Amino acid sequence: EWEFGDGNESTLVHPNNTYDVPATYLITLIATNQLGCKDTVSKPITIIPEWYIYVPNAFTPDGDGLNDIFMPTFTDIYRFNIEIFNRWGERVFVSDDPTKGWDGTYKNYACPGGAYVWKLRFKGYQNKILHNYNYTGTVELLR
């Protein structure tokens, strides 16, 4: 008999269980032999958050309500920072706020269409350890 610590149980020899919430769960196996003798073992398992990140490769800040803001989307990352640079290497946008995206302006003026370089830094889990990640790429501003 398996108890997975999240309210789920199984009597299968090799069961599967899916945890929806990152946390530490106590898994218990109760084994019974042919004579009815029982033995129990319990072990904790820690489910860490999975993270993903999606960065669009183009946006159209034309005020139509569709793709007007360049903003990565993600789950379960920490200490977010993004910078955007024009073709001369001048930083035109920076943010530590994951809910704030770039509207295609710099110093209250519309930036020209073209390719812009972004640098993204954040922390995310890998093998139960919080790691620093650095990504770069380009986004096409379409006017």
Give residue-wise pLDDT tens across range 32-91: 999 999 999 999 999 887 788 899 999 999 999 999 999 999 888 888 999 999 999 999
Rounded CA separation 10/17 (Å)? 9
What's the whole-model pTM score? Answer: 0.71
Cβ-count burial 99-135 (b if 16+ within 10 Å, e if not): eebbbbeeeeeebeeeebebebbbebbeeeeeeeeee
For residue range 53-62, what is the model confidence (pLDDT) as tens digits?
899 999 999 9
Contact 141, 61 (CB under 8 A): yes
- CA-nearest of 73, 89, 87, 85 to 122 is 73
